[in-house]
Structure 1
């Protein structure tokens, strides 16, 4: 029954997202075009952060299954002497109304890099770096704060937190911290009522940011770089698995980093990462099934690609994934993308033109959106501007034409409803660097 319903939803979406080019259908590796009947359904951009505040980059967005979006960012009040950064959140409800701005961090703290995730009904968890520690707080679906600010890390410095929330609201944060001069990967539960569980030492790690995902049954997968390897563990309510080494067959003289993860409804995980050193950096993906079977790593980028720093991964509930990465060509960054099916088949590589800092969101059935920014030259100071763009993605892995979201925005992020509606958030490039958002199509 579930499979039949999924096929019906996909059929409806294919009728709405008509016009995929013949080249894409034939598997030709060119940028495809797609006519969008719902193109006019984009909302107007609105200012998320407060007037008179300046915001930092890397805002975040998480969308629940009703379409309510929680947005998070760091910002400072320009009217104060020191304008300390605070972590702030705000809800954009599916009916178009907005909640109040909430400040989660104390005045005077050094804060950075918030990460968020939400359960099915909008109860969320927010984690961030604060004064060389990792802290977290729960936010209700209404936007109100739940429980006190909690210190999650056990040693300092601690950094690069990530978080995932189960459908029913239990959150797990993961990060890396230094103990006695060595890096460790650590995880901890942040419960629905704001209380925390015991710290879980996952194993030795590195300064690289870990990745975390969760399936529909509430089983977490955490992956992280450990020197010359990428490793992963599964965490349930009662157990922590043995460490699984994902990269033993890959030589990487420069180590690994930029770990990303996607988990389907049943717990099958796709873990992507960047290898350094050797002739060229590369993007790889490992598939670790819920039964523990580990497939051989798949090279996602071409062996001739001079891969850039950033890439993005998203996985739908059926286990199909989209991966977008950057490469240097003639000294300029361009984007490339391809589909990775649930069976491990790699789709045709599509060239997507100039761009950097990609992010992807997929809905339940695999319809998705890619967002990114592009730095473009201009003839007057400061001699460049940054444009944020979006492309829709079909369930077959075809990319639509690029739509300009703004010509004054950078570091966009995107979140998806269960069915073909997306919320995009970015930082305005010009002062005072306001956080902006739009939804569509």
Structure 2
């Protein structure tokens, strides 16, 4: 990775992090101390998220409730940690008495961000400035209920696109909507029929969005610009899937060439596939990412760099029934790299910088001989731009569902939920 070369063994321990690395470090290439993101006396759920702008400032978002209040109503909360280490005050994004869940966040080049979440069977969202201040009012994005599984991407200049699924007259539809930098809303964009499965959205450096979603018998995608919405592109027509498709992910390069990954269900085995849809509209044949013999698990992760090279990590059940991780590179030209076995783990997440240097984070449930007979460890592995995975580094032995994002030059911010009560949200940046 940039400014890091293999050298002698370096071992360190820093406030909740244990790792062993084999690298020489520049002045900035070190892990920070782990810190508590959420407030003392609050209990968060297991869906924190992080978005890092191009200066390295991180917006951290989570859902938590105040244990001192009756009923412990949850609220979406956020704060910013700058690249220099300054931490802003916690901002509460959702109103008291609501039932929010599943926040998602994205930022533009300078740190102005959009956060969306599910609340009271609707999808809502609001904008946050680079300093962590709220911009404009809370906005209802969905047009019908129930509405669920929102995602969001923000263009380099600040235009946000949210996507979700909602029920209209008894049928699921995929819907998208713009949120301006000042919080104003565009008109709802009905993308087409869908399912309750989460859609996916990404944006290129020119501000063109790609939205992809499952539609039972296939996976489809559309491009959305400031003036147009493309026709739906069916990605999966050569693939038989007896139980439909799902777990859609999307990544785009600087010019808008898209990689869309997804699971096919039914048949002998569930599989992980990738489709490559160029900015000119050319669709390559789907590529099988997992082996035909894999007993694929529920979760997989995708990340794409600005040159169009991607990393894909998925889970499978091994012969003992435990979940293990596998990963491989998919080049911009469509060449699949060798599959790397990554050991036991679940809930993977990936981030790649502009040039393809990256990080994989995941958690592993580790059995032990005394009650409660297991603990959950969150870990990280660096990834070279050629697709080689580094050694596993334990971030914490008391944490689950880690998420990661990066600035352009491979310095990563990780967020997770502490496994033990009161389930504090924790974060670390490095290396």
Per the normalisation by structure 2, the TM-score is 0.95
* Alignment partner, residue 261 of structure 2: 272
CA distance in 1, matches of 2:287, 2:176: 27
Structure 1 residues not aligned, in runs of 5+: 1-9, 21-32
Output one character per residue of 1:180-201: Cα deviation in whole Å (capped at 9) or x when no partner.
Answer: 0000000000110011010000
- Give RMSD over aligned pairs: 1.3
Kept in 1: contact 2:50–2:59 (CA 8 A): yes
User: Could you tell me how far 1:18 is from its partner in structure 2?
Assistant: 2.7
1:351 aligns with 2:341: yes
Kept in 2: contact 1:19–1:34 (CA 8 A): no
Kept in 1: contact 2:166–2:174 (CA 8 A): yes
CA distance in 1, matches of 2:417, 2:371: 20
Query: Which of 389, 395, 409 matches 1:419?
Result: 409
* Alignment partner, residue 432 of structure 1: 422
Query: Which of 36, 42, 45 matches 2:23?
Result: 36
Output one character per residue of 1:209-267: Cα deviation in whole Å (capped at 9) or x when no partner.
Answer: 00000000000000000011000000000000000000000001111111001000000
* Alignment partner, residue 361 of structure 1: 351
What is the DSSP-based 3-state SS (H/G/I as helix, E as strand, rest coil) of the residue aligned with 2:312? strand
* Alignment partner, residue 91 of structure 2: 102
The total of aligned residue pairs comes to 417
Query: Which of 47, 54, 69 matches 2:58?
Result: 69
User: Could you tell me how far 1:35 is from its partner in structure 2?
Assistant: 2.3
Structure 2 residues not aligned, in runs of 5+: 9-19
CA distance in 2, matches of 1:202, 1:295: 22
Output one character per residue of 1:105-139: Cα deviation in whole Å (capped at 9) or x when no partner.
Answer: 00110110000000000000000000000000000
Kept in 1: contact 2:7–2:24 (CA 8 A): no
User: Could you tell me how far 1:19 is from its partner in structure 2?
Assistant: 6.6
User: Could you tell me how far 1:34 is from its partner in structure 2?
Assistant: 7.2
CA distance in 1, matches of 2:400, 2:68: 25
What is the DSSP-based 3-state SS (H/G/I as helix, E as strand, rest coil) of the residue aligned with 1:16? coil
* Alignment partner, residue 154 of structure 1: 143
User: Could you tell me how far 1:420 is from its partner in structure 2?
Assistant: 1.4
* Alignment partner, residue 163 of structure 2: 174
CA distance in 1, matches of 2:387, 2:22: 15
Kept in 2: contact 1:18–1:34 (CA 8 A): no
* Alignment partner, residue 225 of structure 1: 214
* Alignment partner, residue 271 of structure 2: 282
What is the DSSP-based 3-state SS (H/G/I as helix, E as strand, rest coil) of the residue aligned with 1:319? coil
* Alignment partner, residue 364 of structure 2: 374
What is the DSSP-based 3-state SS (H/G/I as helix, E as strand, rest coil) of the residue aligned with 1:343? coil
Kept in 2: contact 1:34–1:399 (CA 8 A): no
* Alignment partner, residue 393 of structure 1: 383
